[in-house]
Structure 1
Amino acid sequence: MAARDIKPLVLYGIYPTANPVKVAIILEILNIPYELKSTDFRQCKEPEYLAINPNGRCPAIHDPNTGLSLWESGAIVEYLVDEYDKENTISFSSLHEKYHLRQWLHFQVSGQGPYIGQFSWFKWYHVEKFPSAVDRYAKETRRVMGVVDLGLKDKEWLVGGKMTYADICLVPWFFWAKRIGGDEWYAEQVSELPNFQKWWNKIIEVPKIKEFCAGIAQFDPSYVPKDVLDRLNNKTA
């Protein structure tokens, strides 16, 4: 399908939260036309959106070119790469690299995002303050950074010698961790991770990544409305 023939996809997302940013960067780097439907925390629970994503979370997409609606950011990334990265710009078709890419993506969605998400929850939003919980998820975030550092040993990029979606998908959540912990905390965490630092300093200068992740750096925690926080804290139905 020629680029000029592609109808714009619809991306539903709360900007600048990490998972919608992750999908937006993939769309941008692959030059896939799309329309961002900015969705707030309340709209995610309304019937119109729940018909698209019964989990009531962002992101979700609709692709009018194939008629597919899809939610869960990892599934969305795999779909976009399979359907629109035929030239392997940020992917590989060879067996080992193909599955190593998926390995890192699965690590990101199961082992990186949830820990950093809990880091933000207990730091900013939980109705009761549990310093031990904040400390636990801060340490888990550091552990995840260490995994990436080991994965980059003697390598510039995680898979196959070039920047791929495996690298890209990790970046928004690490930006989120930096926003939660602060610059000084972040610098301390990566101080003994030379492979991570070298990779990070390179990838954050990629124009589309730099552009989209700038919003995360400026995120205001008070953006989440009180009634939404009450519901998330199980104070209301």
Structure 2
Amino acid sequence: MSHGKQFTLYTHDRGPNGWSVAFALQELGLTYESVFLDFQKGEHKAPEFTKYNPNGRIPALIDHHNNDFVVWESNAITQYVVDKYDKDRKISVAPGTEEYYTQLQWLYFQASGQGPYFGQVAWFSVYHPEKVPSAVERYRSEIKRVLGVLEGVLSKREWLVGNKATVADFSFLTWNDAAANFLLENFDFDKEFPATAKWHKRLLERPAIAQVWAERAKAVQKQH
């Protein structure tokens, strides 16, 4: 693989977490090549990938401008990217400030409170070999609880950190989109969580995010 672009991003066309990394890279104008792993073939568990991420999950990022440094876990990746390359604080806040820890707080909450629960709905609704309605009900309730946490904050302020969109906001985007369009039944985002739905739409209107969103649609179409 040639390294004409600064980063190699190992990801998956339908996997929400890799796209949140792409948002940050695109927002900062950083060049990257996406390598879409085929989960059906077990490429994410193969030695060619686990040498980069021993956890065998996407995403993982290689920074070819930093001695091929590898970092995995989506929010750790985005934190690395903005700490190292967002010197103008376009989509992040300065390390060491109180707001920096607020940014970390939301990234940790996304990683622990959003992704796993939303992912469990997908698992028990689609992939689990047995139907377990109680599990689906539990995790759908968790989706709404998490959206309620966001609603409580976003009904009082425009963004999660400071007065601008940051990687904290971007981190919630793909899983919230999955919740609104796939994971929940008979769900009216605008009606049930109006402030969060408005925030979600504002994020999607950002040119860099819109560009990644279009790449996402193209990747899904190409792979399937």
Alpha-carbon distance in structure 1 between the residues aligned to 2:213 and 2:5: 26
**Residues 116, 213 of structure 1: alpha-carbon distance in 2 compared, 3 angstrom cutoff:** farther
Deviation at 1:10, TM superposition (A): 0.6
Whole-Å Cα distance in 2 between the matches of residues 82 and 203 of structure 1? 21
8 A Cα contact 2:26 2:212, kept in partner = no
Q: Which amino acid aligns with 1:128?
A: E
Aligned to 1:50: 50
What is the one-letter code of the residue matched to 2:186? W
Give the secondary-structure state (helix, strand or coil) at the position aligned to 1:137. helix
Match of 2:172 among 170, 173, 179: 170
The alignment status of 1:20 with 2:18, answered yes or no, reads yes
CA contact (8 A) 1:123 1:180 kept: no
The 8 Å contact of residues 190 and 198 in structure 2, kept in 1 or not, is answered as no
Are 1:197 and 2:202 an aligned pair? no
1:86 lines up with 2:94 in the alignment = no
Question: Is 2:106 aligned against 1:108?
Answer: no
Structure 1 residue 219: deviation in Å? 6.1
SS in 2 for 1:145: helix
The aligned amino acid for 1:195 is A
Structure 1 partner of 2:156:
154
Tell me, what secondary structure is at the counterpart of 1:37?
Answer: strand
Q: Distance in 2 between matches of 1:151 and 1:101?
A: 14
Tell me the equivalent position of 2:120.
Answer: 118
Gaps of 5+ in 2: none
Equivalent residue, structure 2, for 1:129 = 131
Q: Distance in 2 between matches of 1:139 and 1:219?
A: 28
Cα displacement string for residues 97-127 of structure 1 (whole angstroms, at most 9, x for unaligned residues): 1111110000001100001100100010100
Amino acid at match of 1:150: G
- Alignment of 1:186 with 2:184, yes or no, is no
Instruction: Provide structure 1 residue ranges, at least 5 long, that are not aligned to the other structure.
Output: 1-5, 224-237
Identity %: 42
Q: How far did residue 190 of structure 1 move? A: 5.0
Verify: 1:10 aligned to 2:11, yes or no.
no
Query: Which secondary structure does the structure 2 equivalent of 1:92 belong to?
Result: coil
Q: Which one is further off, 67-76 or 207-216?
A: 207-216
Q: Match of 1:162, SS?
A: coil
1:139-191 C-alpha deviation (Å, 9 max, x unpaired): 10011111111121321111111111111111011112223236x6331x552
Counterpart in the other structure of 1:40: 38
Q: Structure 2 counterpart of 1:81, which letter?
A: V
Q: Distance in 2 between matches of 1:156 and 1:46?
A: 43
Cα deviations across residues 33-69 of structure 1 (Å, max 9, x unaligned)?
Answer: 1111121111111111111111110000111111211
**TM-score scaled by structure 1?**
0.83
Instruction: After TM superposition, give the deviation of residue 196 of structure 1 in Å.
Output: 1.2
